[in-house]
Amino acid sequence: MKVSALLQSRRCLRGVSLAVVLSVAAGLAMPAEAFAEAQKPNFSQLFKKKKGASGEPTKKSNANSTAHSQGSGQKATTETAVVNDGSMAPFVTADSAAAMEAMAQKYSAIVSAGGWPKVPGGKSKKGSKGRAVAALNQRLFVEGYLRKEATEGEFAELFTSATEDALKRFQRNHGLAVTGVIDGPTLVTLNVPAEKRLATIRANIPRLAEYSKDLGSRYIVVNIPAQQIETVSDGKVYSIHNAVVGRPSRPTPVVMTPLTVVRFNPYWNAPASIVEKDILPRMLSKGPSKIMREMNMKVFDGVGGPEVDPDSINWRRVRVDDYHFRQEPGGSNAMATAKIEFNSPFGIYLHDTPEPHLLHTASRFYSSGCVRVDKVAILIDWILQGQDGIGSARIAELGETLERLDTTIATPPQLRVAYLTAWPAKDGVAAFRPDVYELDGSGFVVGQPLPVGETMDGQRFVLKPIPRLQEEIDTDDGLGFASLFRNRNPDKQDVTARSRSARSDSLIDLDSGKDKKAKKKTATAKSPATTRNTWRGRSPDRMSASETAARQEGDAKVDAKKKPVKQAKKVVKKEKAQAAAKKADPKAATAKKTAAQCKPGADGKLPKGCKPAEAAKKPAAKPVAKAEEKAGKTASAAN
């Protein structure tokens, strides 16, 4: 396996579980029972003996299957589906920017006219009457969801079928549960001011202008705020997929590139962090070869090196980074059975997931940057178009046989991993999503967003890859997103003024100014053993300069402790003796120190601050008298 591929797989561990959906026929959704039967266990189950299918049957939500959605509540408000009927407006088209400019003019006119009315609280639905319904009808009319006659005469205060249809379109365009009823989330969204919607539209015009460049006839759009993926052929949406994207503290980067390779049944390369914290302790407890067999893993002497017998190595004395732990395809493989790669400086890719339940939740910001795809078999079938005889049947076969196969895409579609909080919907209205990464107003179009609340040189994003805390990224993804539940400091401040300890989930190496001094002080305070343990298992090429220095300092202390020279022994012995004396009689030690510091100088004067007390003279009298007596005796003897 190439080193570049290994590093990429370490960037986003949560892999693909085509077996979850590989029996899906092209254009058809998998039945719930088959979906559950094929589901793979998550990473926490890798260390347990397999006892059968681990997933629960997929439950059908009340979602509209063709809506671009983020959703509200716990369940997803959309389902993955093949559309291909022209009923949906794509996220991005060649003329999206021009259409968005027209939207801006329309919403600007609404703002100039005073905006739209506020809808009062209350659970209105079809058949309801009253002032609240009148306000709702007027609100929907102003934005363009309802015709004027539905706001006049006998219909003015009546919740009609037209009102219900208009409200469903509104909910669909805002990623809400499509119910046709005024619930809490719908009421909040209805009452977002027109001025804010106009600002959101303007923030997305330059994004759409950039994303629409060189699209070609076939392309894929990953809309991060919508947490959805769509495939587009000749201007028509073919399929829409729920997706898991980067959480606000690990934002998914925005890239524009063609796809390159589909890898079926890839290996999973365990990062050093997971080897050290989870795999190694089990190896030491139950035996290396036993654990390797249970996890279907092999150990190699470095990346590309020969396979080694895990029982022949003393794992208590080695650096885990010197070895390559590779999990084979099949079984409970953390990478599962497929991923879709593309050229990106940020090292992300599309893939299926062994945790499909996450794709059925309303808020799917779980990953560390990579994008997980619901029913990825449909997506791969659309991408390859039968290339090399790989159609839906062959994809299902690969899921059964676990055959390793890498397929370079002959006619690769373009990919847009996009950040769109607004885009043109049908019938002259705009669709909106929450600004989850807080990038609207920042000028962001492409590149790597910084974690929410962080900036670099005053910017909320960077255009080139930045040093990442790779160990934390790998561990977060590999261990089932445990870090999502860590308490984080919500305060917003520039990352260059924060230490790593203040926010360990940062994408940026916080080694500047005061942070370096603080880190050095902390490292010095640690015991040698603790210092070495902090860096054990992390390779030098993934450490910053300050981390390397701290590691070298810690290693030096450990080595000094293990192989002390005589000089070191003397110093330690002397320090221990002084400490023991001070502990035994602290007053005497203080007095001794004071007397030593208060000796008269060459001019006979005491240093500043010393007392010419009698107590200081008396101790000196005896030695003088003895010296004179001894000197007299010596003189007499000499005579």
Model confidence pLDDT, tens digit, residues 379-431 = 999 999 999 999 999 999 998 898 999 999 999 999 999 999 999 998 899 99
334, 13 in Cβ contact below 8 A? yes
- DSSP letters for 104-145: HHHHHHHHHTT--PPPPSS---TT-BSHHHHHHHHHHHHHTS
Backbone angles phi, psi at 349, to 5 degrees: -160, 170
Cα–Cα distance for residue pair 388/458, rounded to 1 Å: 50
Predicted confidence band of residue 334 (pLDDT cuts 50, 70, 90): low
**If DSSP codes are grouped into helix, strand and coil, which group holds residue 542?**
helix
Beta bridge partners of 361: 75
Mean pLDDT of 285-290: 95
Beta bridge partners of 263: 339, 406
Q: Which residue has the higher pLDDT, 351 or 104?
A: 104
pLDDT surpassing 80 at residue 126: yes
pLDDT surpassing 90 at residue 301: yes
**What is the pLDDT at residue 524?**
43
Of the chain, the percentage scoring pLDDT greater than 90 comes to 50
- Global model pTM greater than 0.75: no
Q: Which residue has the higher pLDDT, 188 or 585?
A: 188
Sequence-distant (6+) residues with CB within 8 A of 639 are none
Cα–Cα distance for residue pair 572/306, rounded to 1 Å: 45
pLDDT surpassing 70 at residue 79: yes
276, 320 in Cβ contact below 8 A? yes
Q: Which residue has the higher pLDDT, 26 or 160?
A: 160
- The least confident of 74-88, 468-482, 522-536 is 522-536
pLDDT surpassing 50 at residue 66: no
**If DSSP codes are grouped into helix, strand and coil, which group holds residue 414?**
strand
- The least confident of 30-34, 234-238, 365-369, 552-556 is 30-34
**What is the pLDDT at residue 12?**
62
**What is the pLDDT at residue 387?**
97
pLDDT surpassing 50 at residue 541: no
Longest dimension (CA), the chain: 140
**What is the pLDDT at residue 598?**
64
Closest CA to 463 of 140, 210, 199: 210
Looking up tokens 């100088």 gives 601
Predicted confidence band of residue 509 (pLDDT cuts 50, 70, 90): very low
40, 356 in Cβ contact below 8 A? no
Q: Which residue has the higher pLDDT, 383 or 536?
A: 383
Predicted confidence band of residue 207 (pLDDT cuts 50, 70, 90): very high
Element (DSSP H or E) covering residue 420: none
Beta bridge partners of 373: 243
pLDDT surpassing 70 at residue 121: yes
Cα–Cα distance for residue pair 340/348, rounded to 1 Å: 10
Predicted confidence band of residue 367 (pLDDT cuts 50, 70, 90): confident
242, 227 in Cβ contact below 8 A? yes
Mean pLDDT of 272-296: 91
pLDDT surpassing 80 at residue 637: no
Backbone angles phi, psi at 424, to 5 degrees: -70, 125
Cα–Cα distance for residue pair 484/190, rounded to 1 Å: 30
What is the overall mean pLDDT for the chain? Answer: 74
Closest CA to 546 of 513, 520, 524, 522: 520
- The least confident of 174-178, 340-344, 471-475 is 471-475
Pairing between β-strand 371-373 and β-strand 350-351 as defined by DSSP bridges: parallel
Tell me the two tokens of residue 115: 């905006």
**What is the pLDDT at residue 577?**
55
**What is the pLDDT at residue 185?**
93
pLDDT tens digit string along 225-279? 999 999 999 999 999 999 999 999 999 999 999 999 999 988 888 888 778 888 9
Cα–Cα distance for residue pair 343/415, rounded to 1 Å: 10
pLDDT tens digit string along 8-63? 444 565 433 344 333 333 333 333 333 333 333 333 333 333 333 333 333 333 34
- The least confident of 153-162, 259-268, 334-343 is 334-343
